[in-house]
């Protein structure tokens, strides 16, 4: 899933390419693509795109009175659409402009979870963005320490929870834990001010690396391409200490970590996979 660096860099690219383009049409290709009824997307017709922003992992297309809020989920992409074919492959919705290419929301696979919300600009504090906590880059040591104390849970789970901290996903949760030299299973309530400060520094470090990579590209990377120290590197040597990167797998994702850097050498196990981790 695209995370903060990928979405941020994509917003910047789209702003560069589409700012000022006048919206002439919004065309959903199936009934799940548009998640809202009011206001009508037609409210934005005739308005220029003022810019594309980001909140958490959402893209925000700003047309003045209304914003289109887009979540790409796992397989969604918002692509420059030169062809504008009547039935685009994997097409979910299209934004057509008075001149130049359109923007096409696509989603690979059958899940149909990516979507578009048309939201009055003065209602942006409501759904769907109201479920987001503070942006990952807006936390400081003190505010994160307070949030850790308020919700005592595994660090990896906290970092992936958009209500607690917005913009990180499975990859950055792994990368942040590694850079902070903390176990993904560390309980947030025990991390204290020192642990929170280490996590804030790790977030900025991991996001900066991802942004530098992503801003050098002309399109959004896929997960396997992104730079990382532990994510997608299970079985490889840790770039810090050369120990072998290990993992604990869950149905939807993999927690990757370095035992030497993060868990005092302890191999993490859970009930479902421990027998495979020998």
Confirm if 196 and 182 have CB atoms less than 8 A apart: no
Q: Measure the CA dihedral 72/77/79/83, to 10°.
A: -120
- Could you identify the residue written with the tokens 């520094």? 201
Which residue number, 73 or 243, has a Cβ lying nearer to Zn ion? 243
- Could you identify the residue written with the tokens 């009824």? 37
Q: Is 230 in the site for Zn ion (CB under 5 A)?
A: no
Candidates 73-81, 195-203, 213-221, 241-249: pick the segment binding Zn ion (CB under 5 A): 241-249
Q: How far is the CB of 3 from Zn ion (least distance, A)?
A: 22
Read out DSSP for 51-69? EEEEETTEEEEE-SSEEEE
Q: Is 238 in the site for Zn ion (CB under 5 A)?
A: yes
Q: Which of 55, 258, 263, 268 binds Zn ion (CB under 5 A)?
A: 258
Which H or E run includes 95? strand 91-97
CA 2 – CA 225 distance, rounded (Å): 12
User: Any idea what DSSP says for residue 7?
Assistant: H
Candidates 21-29, 128-136, 149-157, 250-258: pick the segment binding Zn ion (CB under 5 A): 250-258
Q: Is 181 in the site for Zn ion (CB under 5 A)?
A: no
CA 148 – CA 161 distance, rounded (Å): 12
- The residue number with the shortest CB distance to Zn ion is 238
- Could you identify the residue written with the tokens 């994510």? 231
Q: Is 180 in the site for Zn ion (CB under 5 A)?
A: no
Query: CA angle, corner 42, sides to 36 and 47, nearest 5?
Result: 120
Q: Is 261 in the site for Zn ion (CB under 5 A)?
A: yes
Candidates 83-91, 152-160, 194-202, 260-268: pick the segment binding Zn ion (CB under 5 A): 260-268
Peptide bond into 39 cis (omega under 30): yes
Spell out where the chain has E strands: 23-28, 51-55, 58-62, 66-71, 76-81, 91-97, 102-107, 115-120, 246-249, 254-257
Residue 98 phi/psi, 5-degree rounding, is: -60, -40
Q: How far is the CB of 174 from Zn ion (least distance, A)?
A: 13
Q: Which of 120, 132, 240, 269 binds Zn ion (CB under 5 A)?
A: 240
Candidates 30-38, 43-51, 253-261, 268-276: pick the segment binding Zn ion (CB under 5 A): 253-261
Q: How far is the CB of 45 from Zn ion (least distance, A)?
A: 54
Q: Which of 120, 260, 269, 273 binds Zn ion (CB under 5 A)?
A: 260
Candidates 72-80, 125-133, 213-221, 261-269: pick the segment binding Zn ion (CB under 5 A): 261-269
Q: Which of 241, 244, 274, 277 binds Zn ion (CB under 5 A)?
A: 241
Which residue number, 23 or 258, has a Cβ lying nearer to Zn ion? 258
Which residue number, 193 or 241, has a Cβ lying nearer to Zn ion? 241
Q: Which residues fall within 8 angstroms of residue 224, CB to CB, at 6 or more apart? A: 232
Strands 58-62 and 51-55: antiparallel
Q: How far is the CB of 258 from Zn ion (least distance, A)?
A: 3
Q: Is 93 in the site for Zn ion (CB under 5 A)?
A: no
Note the residues at the interface with Zn ion (CB under 5 A).
Answer: 238, 240-241, 243, 258, 260-261
């Amino acid at each position: 899933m695209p995370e903060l660096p990928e979405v941020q860099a994509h917003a910047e690219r789209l702003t560069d390419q589409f700012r000022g383009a006048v919206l002439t049409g919004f065309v959903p290709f199936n009934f799940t693509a548009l998640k809202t009824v009011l206001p009508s997307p037609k409210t934005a017709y005739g308005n220029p795109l003022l810019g594309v922003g980001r909140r958490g992992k959402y893209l925000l297309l700003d047309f003045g009175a209304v914003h289109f809020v887009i979540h790409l989920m796992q397989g969604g992409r918002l692509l420059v659409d030169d062809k504008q074919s009547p039935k685009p492959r994997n097409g979910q919705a299209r934004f057509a402009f008075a001149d130049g290419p359109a923007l096409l929301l696509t989603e690979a696979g059958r899940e149909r979870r990516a979507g578009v919300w048309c939201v009055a600009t003065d209602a942006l504090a409501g759904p769907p963005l109201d479920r987001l906590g503070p942006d990952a880059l807006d936390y400081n040591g003190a505010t994160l320490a307070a949030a850790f104390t308020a919700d005592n849970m595994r660090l990896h789970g906290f970092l992936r929870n958009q209500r607690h901290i917005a913009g990180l996903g499975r990859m950055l949760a792994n990368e942040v834990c590694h850079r902070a030299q903390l176990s993904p299973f560390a309980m947030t309530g025990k991390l204290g001010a020192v642990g929170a400060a280490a996590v804030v520094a790790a977030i900025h470090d991991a996001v900066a690396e991802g942004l530098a990579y992503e801003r050098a590209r002309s399109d959004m990377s896929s997960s396997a391409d992104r730079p990382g120290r532990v994510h997608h590197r299970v079985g490889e040597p840790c770039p810090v200490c050369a120990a072998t990167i290990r993992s604990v797998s869950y149905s939807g994702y993999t927690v990757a970590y370095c035992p030497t850097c993060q868990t005092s050498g302890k191999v993490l196990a859970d009930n479902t996979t421990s027998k495979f981790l020998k």
